[in-house]
Chains A and B, each alone.
Chain A
Amino acid sequence: MNNLVVLPLLFPLCTAIILFFFKEKVRIQRAAGAAGMGATLLACGLLLAQVLRSGTQTLNMGGWMPPYGIVFVADPFAALLAAAATLVSSFCLLYAFGTVGKERERFYFYPFFHLLLAGVNGSFLTGDLFNLFVCFEVMLISSYALLVLGGTKIQIRETIKYVLVNIISSTLFVAAVAYLYGVAGTLNMADLSVKVAAAGQGGILNVIAVFFLVVFSLKAGLFLFFWLPGSYSAPPMAVAALFGALLTKVGLYALVRTFTLVFPNDPAITHVWIGWMAGATMALGAAGALAYRNLLSVLNYNIVISIGFIAFGLSVSNRPALEGVVFYLLHDMAAKALLFLLAGLILQARGTDKAARLGGLIRSQPWIGWMFFTAALAIAGIPPLSGFGGKLLLVKGGLQGDSFVLTAISLASSLIVLYTLIRLFMDVFFGEAKEQPAAAAVPLRGHVVLAGALCAIVVLMGLGSEWIYQAASAAAGTLSDPSKYIEAVLKEPV
């Protein structure tokens, strides 16, 4: 029992509720929002330190023993992801100051932002399947609001599609929960793990596992990513950075959690499916990234590629691959957020995202240029930077698990990531602009410094791989051995 476990959910929730009362007072909204974010960050950091020091922490809501009550579980994987998500969203929040515009800020931008964070942290920390659904909905409904806020034509059009896809996937989620409850009679994940393992996960349970695979793939953009490129190019860049860094990662977290904890018993069926979906995601994402020359489309398809990459690690599911999954998830949150913030700065400086109209930006914005270069190398996985450790572990896991085809696809997709991002870098920063853009403003110095801080984190994550690896290894330890999780949740009260 440890009340700290719920604070990463509670702080953003309370901040959002307080912020609803200060509609017109943008300065108060910013200050209180930043303070709430700082408190959440502190809580996540303390929780992470505690989890890494003394093992998985649980909190039984209302004192009801699991499996009867809702339990919040902070194992190393969940605590790491919650901390990383909060850190990344604090950067997005600071970037939103001064870029989203007064109109949006006065219409509850910050409350929705914090509610989204509450949903994300809740999804990471919950130990109950239906509570996961509710946290997903908290996150998704805030994301609908953030996506449509401002009400431009493109936003309305893309929000309709995004809402429709997510209503359907949420409906399927409830249906999957219904089937699983009908078979197993419980919704607590640890208890489910015990019951599914006892039943041997044949026949109907495999069907339910694939059902969950479809649901979470729709959320994560694994193979079923048709909605992603359009939706993510509509909102302002602070929101796009938040979405690109967090939303699909929550779907991936749910995939990793269900297929390492609840349904790990028949990998010949489920994990092979995940493997082929991951391979197809990497290949199709690479095709999309190659096909487009405008900034946002290339970045969106790069999100898709990295989703496939992480799912490839899940499909192999041996120890190094799971370590790679954790490591790469952490890196990808930070690096994708950095890339989107830089894209936002480029848009501010040039007022267009068509690569043909950009060009020569290195002369006026050298800092943004070299940070973009660093981020591109980090995402491609060049050794001193943060993407390398995760990719190395994933490839090692893939080779140990004898999935040579998928490993080859993942390496080839890394090459394409490098090619597309460097092509973008050359297009945007070198050469001459073909036509002068109409509207252009100089990005604020503070925002460049902000991106610089995030860039420093990405570089330090690479240089300090040893420490990150230790944490990732602890997380992979609980992932590869569900009995630790079960023991932590279902233990007798002390």
Chain B
Amino acid sequence: MELFMSLAVGILFAVGVYLILSKSLLRIVLGTSLLTHGVHLLLLTMSRLKAGSAPLLGEGAERYTDPLPQALILTSIVISFGVTSLFFVLAYQAYKKLGTDDMEQLRGREHE
């Protein structure tokens, strides 16, 4: 199971990196969110995907899944959510004020 998850994470990373290297700002934002998806799945995978009950003591199970990475992922999800929404608004402002979403045109000081 870990092998398949690792492959999926690898694919997400590859697609994310490809999108980040493109010219259009929106594709870059999408690339960053694919990267964060990949890294959250990686965090889940690295804590071993052994079968066990959900980490609720009321379940009264023999064994539970590891609760720590789930808390880490939850934290990381809200952080990346906040940053992604900031990035989207920034892209919108760039479109309104600079009139372009092409990263090639967003460089240098000579356009001032």
Residues of A bordering B, CB below 8 Å: 130, 133-134, 137, 141, 144, 148, 151, 153-154, 156-157, 159-161, 163-164, 167-168, 170-171, 174-175, 177-179, 181-182, 187
Q: List residues of chain A with CB within 8 A of the CB of B98.
A: 153, 156-157
**Which residues on the A side are within 8 Å of B20 (C-beta)?**
164, 168
Cα(A137)–Cα(B94), bound, Å: 23
Whole-angstrom CA separation of A175 from B40 in the bound complex: 8
On whether the beta carbons of B86 and A178 are closer than 8 Å, the reply is: no
Chain A contacts of B39 at CB under 8 A? 171, 174-175, 178
Q: Is B94 touching A157 in the complex (CB atoms < 8 A)?
A: yes
Check A160 against B32 for contact (C-beta < 8 Å).
Answer: no
Instruction: Verify A157–B106 contact, CB threshold 8 A.
Output: yes
- Given that A141-B86, A159-B90, A171-B32 are contacting pairs, would A177 and B25 also be in contact in the complex, using a CB cutoff of 8 Å? no
In the complex, residue of chain B having the shortest beta-carbon distance to the beta carbon of A167 = B32
User: How many Å lie between the Cα of A151 and that of B97 in the bound state?
Assistant: 9
Q: How many A-B residue pairs have CB under 8 A?
A: 92
Given the interface pairs A174-B43, A177-B72, the reply to whether A141 lies near B82 with Cβ below 8 Å is yes
User: Does B42 belong to the interface (CB within 8 Å)?
Assistant: yes
Shortest distance between the CB of A148 and any CB in chain B (Å)? 7
Using A148-B90, A154-B109, A168-B20 as known contacts, say yes or no to A181 and B47 having CB atoms under 8 A apart: yes
Return A116 CB to nearest CB of chain B, in Å: 15
Q: For residues 79 through 100 of chain B, which have their beta carbon under 8 Å from a beta carbon of chain A?
A: 79-80, 82-83, 86-87, 90-91, 93-94, 97-98
Chain A interface helix/strand/loop/mixed? helix
Q: Is B75 an interface residue (CB 8 A)?
A: yes
With beta carbons under 8 angstroms apart, the residue of A160, A171, A178 that contacts B94 is A160
Given A153-B112, A179-B46, decide whether A164 and B35 contact each other with a Cβ distance below 8 A: no
Q: Establish whether residues B42 and A178, one from each chain, have CB atoms under 8 Å apart when the complex forms.
A: yes
User: Can you list 28 pairs linking A and B with CB atoms under 8 Å apart?
Assistant: A130-B72, A134-B79, A137-B83, A141-B83, A153-B97, A153-B98, A157-B94, A157-B106, A160-B25, A160-B87, A160-B91, A160-B94, A163-B83, A164-B20, A167-B87, A168-B35, A170-B79, A174-B39, A174-B42, A174-B43, A177-B43, A178-B39, A178-B43, A181-B46, A181-B47, A181-B69, A181-B72, A187-B68
| A199–B69 alpha-carbon span in the complex (Å) | 22
Chain A contacts for B76, CB-based, 8 A: 133, 174
B 11-53 contacts with A by CB, 8 A: 20, 25, 28, 32, 35-36, 39-40, 42-43, 45-48
Q: Give chain B nearest CB distance to A191 CB in angstroms.
A: 13
**Cα distance A472–B36 in the bound complex, in angstroms:** 39
B68: A residues at CB distance < 8 A: 181, 187
Contacts of A156 in B (CB 8 A): 90, 93-94, 97-98
Whether B90 and A163, one on each chain, are in contact in the complex, defined by CB atoms closer than 8 angstroms, is: yes
Q: Output the least CB separation between A341 and chain B (Å).
A: 23
Minimal Cβ-Cβ distance residue in A for B33: A167
Interface residues on B, range: 35 or more
* Chain A residue nearest in CB terms to B37: A171
CA distance A128 to B111 in the complex (A): 44
Cβ contacts under 8 Å, A171 to chain B: 32, 35-36, 39, 80
Which of chain A's residues have a CB closer than 8 A to the CB of B79?
A: 134, 137, 170
B contacts, CB < 8 Å to A: 20, 25, 28, 32, 35-36, 39-40, 42-43, 45-48, 68-69, 72, 75-76, 79-80, 82-83, 86-87, 90-91, 93-94, 97-98, 106-107, 109, 111-112
A160 to chain B, nearest CB (A): 6
Chain B contacts of A133 at CB under 8 A?
76
Q: With a CB–CB cut-off of 8 A, which chain B residues contact A157?
A: 94, 98, 106-107
Docked CA distance A156–B105 (Å):
13
A153–B106 Cα distance when bound, in Å, is 10
A153 to B94, CA, bound (A): 8
B47 and A182 contact, CB distance less than 8 A: yes
Q: What is the CB-to-nearest-CB distance from B99 to chain A, in angstroms, rounded to a whole number? A: 10
Q: How far is the CB of A296 from chain B (nearest CB, A)?
A: 10
A167 touches B69 (CB 8 A): no
Chain A minimum-CB-distance residue to B35? A171
Could you say which residues of chain B place their CB within 8 Å of the CB of A163?
Answer: 83, 86-87, 90
The docked-state distance in angstroms from the alpha carbon of A466 to that of B43 is: 47
Q: Which of B35, B40, B46, B93 touches A182 (beta carbons < 8 Å)?
A: B46
Bound Cα distance A179, B107 (Å): 35
CA distance A168 to B36 in the complex (A): 9
State in angstroms the CA–CA spacing of A173 and B43 once bound together.
11
Chain B residues contacting A168 (CB-CB under 8 Å) are 20, 32, 35
- Report A-chain residues with C-beta under 8 Å of the C-beta of B80: 167, 170-171
A-B residue pairs, 6 tightest by C-beta:
A182-B46, A178-B43, A178-B46, A174-B39, A167-B32, A171-B35
Q: B residues within 8 A CB of A154?
A: 109, 112
Which of the listed residues B47, B79, B94, B111 has the most CB atoms from chain A within 10 Å of its own CB? B79
CB distance from A233 to the nearest CB of B (A): 8
- Closest residue to B96 on the A side, CB-wise? A156
Sample of 18 more A-B contacts, CB < 8 Å, known A168-B35, A170-B79, A181-B68: A134-B79, A137-B83, A144-B83, A153-B98, A157-B107, A160-B94, A160-B106, A161-B106, A167-B80, A168-B20, A171-B39, A174-B39, A174-B76, A177-B72, A178-B42, A178-B45, A178-B46, A179-B46
